[in-house]
């Protein structure tokens, strides 16, 4: 590529708004643009160095001719020598300034290109938090699982993540409407939900599963379907007394009156997780605070390989 002198990277042109890294960052840096500009800068530097060498040689020839003239045309040899040195010094300063400005901008552009490269690599191979992931909420009825799951989904959706919530309201009335609440049916309920969640994770979604899922063994089976780091267990740890006080669906009241059998926490056991990735104690805590603690755990992205109950 050959540049005309009007295209040379002068200090004014290098510093102009049209070529600032901030401007490039706002409109995005295309890889071909980076390569083209780096080539442009390299050619410009080459021309500067070549012109500088030619200028020095021309000035030296001028000085020699003046010295050989021994004062002809009214020019004293000493004056001619001083003028030649002065011109050479100014030319060198100008060339040095051009080179320094071009090198500084090349460094800035290289940093912008590096940042853009990191963005591209991050999109191509994002951290686990930005890939498919299952966030499994477990806890007693009325503990706040669905509230946390729905708030977290809104937070993730606002960040541009593709999400889906699986809970009793959208599973028990469709996929699992043939199941009751016996221990065997509860196990099958969780198995089906885990299989659906796995398919969604494979498609790149963040799946928020909100089920009582009372048995450790079944939660282990669900976890085993996923790759390390794809399953985050959130234990919504709310005391039974608080859940009974809330009782949003009136289920505890029915169970206490004997109108509802196999109610978890009353006549059916709940096996609390022993080492869940996240524990949220909702008693005395606002839902937004619980979501914030879950987000912190997700952003840490250190949930790989553990096998909580």
Domain ranges of the chain: 5-124, 128-300
Q: CATH for 128-300?
A: 3.40.50.300
State the pTM of this model: 0.58
Catalytic residues: 213
Q: Show pLDDT as tens, one digit a residue, over the chain (309 residues).
A: 344 444 444 444 444 434 444 434 434 445 555 556 666 666 666 666 666 666 667 667 766 666 665 555 555 666 666 766 776 677 677 777 777 777 777 777 777 777 777 676 666 555 555 578 999 999 999 999 999 999 999 999 888 889 999 997 788 788 888 888 788 888 898 999 999 999 999 988 999 999 999 999 999 999 999 998 899 999 999 999 999 999 988 999 999 999 999 899 999 999 999 989 999 998 888 999 999 989 888 877 544 333 334
For CA atoms 52, 55, 57, 59, the dihedral sign is negative
Q: Crossing angle for the helix pair 183-202 and 216-224, nearest 10 degrees?
A: 20
């Amino acid at each position: 590529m050959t540049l005309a002198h009007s295209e040379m990277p002068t200090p004014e042109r290098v510093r102009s708004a049209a070529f600032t890294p901030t401007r490039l960052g706002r409109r995005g840096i295309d890889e071909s643009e980076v390569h083209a500009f780096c080539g442009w800068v390299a050619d410009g530097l080459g021309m500067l160095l070549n012109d500088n060498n030619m200028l020095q040689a021309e000035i030296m020839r001028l000085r020699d001719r003046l010295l050989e003239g021994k004062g002809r045309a009214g020019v004293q040899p000493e004056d001619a020598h001083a003028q030649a040195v002065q011109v050479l010094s100014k030319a060198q300063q100008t060339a040095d300034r051009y080179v320094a400005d071009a090198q500084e901008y090349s460094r800035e552009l290289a940093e912008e290109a590096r940042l853009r490269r990191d963005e591209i690599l991050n999109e191509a191979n994002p951290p686990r938090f930005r890939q498919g992931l299952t966030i499994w909420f477990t806890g007693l009825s009325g503990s706040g699982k669905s509230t946390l799951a729905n708030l977290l989904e809104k937070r993730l959706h606002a960040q541009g993540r593709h999400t889906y919530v699986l809970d009793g309201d959208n599973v028990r009335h469709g996929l699992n409407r043939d199941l009751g609440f016996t221990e065997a049916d509860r196990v099958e309920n969780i198995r089906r939900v885990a299989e659906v969640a796995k398919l969604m994770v494979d498609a790149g979604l963040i799946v928020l599963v909100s089920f009582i899922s009372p048995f450790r063994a079944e939660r282990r089976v669900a976890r085993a379907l996923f790759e390390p780091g794809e399953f985050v267990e959130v234990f919504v740890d709310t005391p039974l007394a608080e859940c009974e006080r809330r009782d949003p669906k009136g289920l505890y009241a029915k169970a206490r009156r004997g109108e509802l059998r196999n109610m978890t926490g009353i006549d059916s056991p709940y096996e609390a997780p022993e080492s869940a990735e996240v524990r949220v104690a909702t008693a005395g805590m606002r839902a937004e605070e619980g979501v914030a603690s879950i987000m912190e755990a997700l952003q840490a992205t250190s949930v790989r390989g553990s096998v909580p109950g």
